[in-house]
């Protein structure tokens, strides 16, 4: 029997989480794990109780704004943000955890990752934001690409 590694196991779950995304541009999933236990998950989409992007449209897409720019115009939260917020909402301590995410975090998510006490980020796909890489490195957070899908 060929069992997947823990990283592969958690990354595959993260890919399933991403299928819940309602974003028209990119489906992103995130999973917070500590001691081989899932603490929280999140995907990108509108705040709780509000209309979804796939129903209402995407202002950034309509305005022709490239991916990674003018994020303040987006009605959605990123997957990493949702995973962190869900943990806080339910009183789950995520300090010392690992974040599995389908795409490398943006600068805003990097700041949240640092302040949440997450110590490692494993990502499957790239995201056009070099500032996040630099910031995570300055904070001593282990950023690892996962290329074994």
CA–CA separation, 134 and 105 (whole Å): 11
Closest of 146, 142, 127, 147 to residue 27, by C-alpha: 127
83: which 2 tokens?
Answer: 């995973």
Closest of 70, 46, 45, 47 to residue 60, by C-alpha: 70
Residues carrying an active site annotation: 80
54: which 2 tokens?
Answer: 């796939």
């Amino acid at each position: 029997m060929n069992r997947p590694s823990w990283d592969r196991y958690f990354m595959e779950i993260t890919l399933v989480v991403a299928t819940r995304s309602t974003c028209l541009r990119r489906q992103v999933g995130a999973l917070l794990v500590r001691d081989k236990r899932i603490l929280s998950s999140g995907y990108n989409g509108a705040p709780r109780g509000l209309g979804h992007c796939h129903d209402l449209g995407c202002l950034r897409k309509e305005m022709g704004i490239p991916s990674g720019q003018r994020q303040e115009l987006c009605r959605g939260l990123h997957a990493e943000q949702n995973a962190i917020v869900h943990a806080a909402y339910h009183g789950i301590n995520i300090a010392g955890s690992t974040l599995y995410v389908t795409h490398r975090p943006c600068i805003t998510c990097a700041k949240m990752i640092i302040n949440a006490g997450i110590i490692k980020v494993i990502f499957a796909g790239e995201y056009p934001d070099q500032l996040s890489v630099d910031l995570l490195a300055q904070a001593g957070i282990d950023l690892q690409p996962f290329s074994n899908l």
